[in-house]
Amino acid sequence: MNLEMRGICKAFDANVVLKSVDFSLSGGEICALLGENGAGKSTLMNILGGVLPADAGEIKIDGVPVTFHNPAESLHAGIAFIHQELNLINDLAVYENMFIGREIKKKNGLLDAEQMCRETQAVFDRMSLEMDPKTMVRDLDASYKQIVEICRALMMNASIIIMDEPTTSLTGPEIERVFEMMRSLKKQGVGIVFISHKLKEVMEICSRYTILRDGKMVAEGKVADVTTDDLARFMVGHDIRTMALQRARKTPHEVLKVQNLTDKGNFRDISFTARAGEVLGITGLLGDGRSELFLSMIGAGTPYTGQVYFEDKPIRVRNTTQAVNSAIGYLPRNRKENGIIKGLNIVENGSVVTWPKLARFGFIDRQQQNRLFDTQVKNLHIKLENKTDPIGSLSGGNQQKIVLAKWLSTQPRLLILDNPTQGVDVGAKEEIYDIILNLADEGVAIIVLSSEAQEIIRVCDRALVMYHGAIQGEVSGAGMTEHKIMRLATGAS
């Protein structure tokens, strides 16, 4: 089977995501689809999988034009999409998952479990897989879950399988197991689209690559002709540092020192220091463990071993209240889930952390609350009509600034910012960068967690790059390029 996508365009309102993208795939080949976050990979595959309609362009299968209105039509045409979050039901057996939604029934209307098991077994035999169809999905490890999804796609006669970052949550041997499965599929003439950030894996398993950047196809070819360096450069587009940060380096005291921090699986053997007035970046790809690391450190995550020193004193933060009292601020990622509190109005959202300090005999000193808040509004250039309006009435950028104001009102000496510009438009982004740099000049130690290399380069003095829960390397000064960060983040050294 041959797949051809020609001139695919897609825009969400004013935001153009795909600009006339071409993509092709033949049976029996594994093609890597690469690009930074937001490059348009997922959108392209969602169009192929019938999840989204294309604005323009055509899809041909074996030369015949097709249109998919929903995932079922796409599946019917032989295209299966295995999403990053697996679609298996943990509380059902493997064979039940294989037949979910199209169960085989006996004449009396009851389920024909034996027939379903037999057919499942047949697919397993074809892939020379040894697994009991009656195993509960919850008892499978992540790689076998991935494999069950692949088998389900095969059972539905899929001849093209889209795999969206299948290896993110897998360990080394598990990845090898999935790769073996993919090679076996390849031999049977199935075409695979492999979406991944891990260039080493791409080199190992893929025969071709297609690279998207800012919604355009920028490169394609045979994997054998390129190196991981080339791929990283194609993805980023350039290896110069935009608007490089040139701040005078002082030699101030250490605020945070971390030694050999390890938890049960998210991060291991992490050691670093952060100094007053310094902006330290921590970056990496999805699943690198950076958020989990800092959540543990502020007492809101998994327990860890190792030692943290705050201002030269050993500290172990048991809960977030203690973190606040120790002058450690943590602005979480995902503003909607972790940042804003919809039941509180704007000024309350900006003051919730300081209430214990503002309270006299339990009563919030509203005058002082408003005064503090007004100062933040002025300093952060927050645009709002009435500070007692609901928080939802503000734009994303201003909401983010309110969450930032909440932390600044505690006057932290260490401020950890996780994805500080998530869901914020370009203008507000720049303003937030300025705020970060000003804070650093005032002597706050700042740690910025971000998956955007450009952001790290824009605000950080130096950055640690994490890969699979460990620090893969450090970049600073002129050595801080997107190219180098991407290389480290994908597991190269």
Partner 1 sequence: MKKPQFSQSQKAITALRKTWMTNALFSTGIALLVMIILQTFALGFEFGSFSEWFSVWLSNWINILRNNAGIGIISLGMTLVIISGGIDLAVGSTLVAIGAVLMMLIDSGPKGILQNWGIVGFPAYLIAIVIAVIFGLILGQLTGLLVTKGKLPPFIATLGTMKIFRSVTQHFMQGYTPVVPKPFLNIASLEIGGKLLMPIIYWAVLAVVFYIISTRTAFGRQVIAVGSNERASKLSGIDINKVKRRVYAIMGVLVSVAAVVQVSRIGSMDYANAGSGYEMDAISAVIVGGTSMAGGKGTIIGTVLGTLIIAVMNNLLNLIGVPPFLREAFKGVIVIGAVLLQKKESNS
Is residue 343 part of the contact set for partner 1 (CB under 8 A)? yes
Q: How are beta strands 445-450 and 279-284 bridged, if at all? A: parallel
Is residue 478 part of the contact set for partner 1 (CB under 8 A)? no
Cα(400)–Cα(9) distance, integer angstroms: 31
Cα(137)–Cα(22) distance, integer angstroms: 37
Closest contact distance (angstroms) between CB of 400 and partner 1 is: 13
Closest contact distance (angstroms) between CB of 326 and partner 1 is: 10
Q: Which residues contact 246 (CB under 8 A, 6 or more apart)?
A: none
Is residue 240 part of the contact set for partner 1 (CB under 8 A)? no
Is residue 127 part of the contact set for partner 1 (CB under 8 A)? no
Q: Which residues contact 356 (CB under 8 A, 6 or more apart)?
A: none
> Between 389 and 434, whose beta carbon lies closer to partner 1?
389
Task: List binders of partner 1 among 306-325 (CB under 8 A).
Answer: 319-321, 323-325
Cα(440)–Cα(245) distance, integer angstroms: 13
Is residue 352 part of the contact set for partner 1 (CB under 8 A)? yes
Query: Among 66, 92, 300, 315, which residue interacts with partner 1 (rule: CB under 8 A)?
Result: 300
> Between 95 and 330, whose beta carbon lies closer to partner 1?
330
C-alpha pair distances (Å), 120 with each of 87, 94, 98, 126, 154: 17, 8, 7, 10, 10
Q: 431 phi and psi, to 5 degrees?
A: -60, -40
Cα(75)–Cα(11) distance, integer angstroms: 24
Is residue 101 part of the contact set for partner 1 (CB under 8 A)? no
Describe the strand order of the beta sheet including 254-262 as a list of residue ranges.
270-275, 254-262, 305-310, 313-315
> Between 209 and 407, whose beta carbon lies closer to partner 1?
407
Closest contact distance (angstroms) between CB of 224 and partner 1 is: 47
247 in helix, strand or coil?
A: coil
Cα(209)–Cα(216) distance, integer angstroms: 14
Is residue 340 part of the contact set for partner 1 (CB under 8 A)? yes
Closest contact distance (angstroms) between CB of 329 and partner 1 is: 9
Is residue 359 part of the contact set for partner 1 (CB under 8 A)? yes
Is residue 362 part of the contact set for partner 1 (CB under 8 A)? yes
Extract the tokens encoding 385.
Answer: 């009509």
For residue 199, give the amino acid letter: L
Closest contact distance (angstroms) between CB of 142 and partner 1 is: 25
Task: List binders of partner 1 among 434-453 (CB under 8 A).
Answer: none
Looking at 16-24, 285-293, 334-342, 467-475, which segment touches partner 1 (CB under 8 A)?
Answer: 334-342
> Between 183 and 342, whose beta carbon lies closer to partner 1?
342
> Between 259 and 320, whose beta carbon lies closer to partner 1?
320
User: Are 297 and 322 a contacting pair, CB within 8 Å?
Assistant: no
Looking at 125-133, 178-186, 340-348, 443-451, which segment touches partner 1 (CB under 8 A)?
Answer: 340-348
Interface ranges with partner 1 (CB under 8 A): 300, 319-321, 323-325, 330, 332, 337-344, 348, 352-353, 355-356, 358-359, 362-364, 366, 406
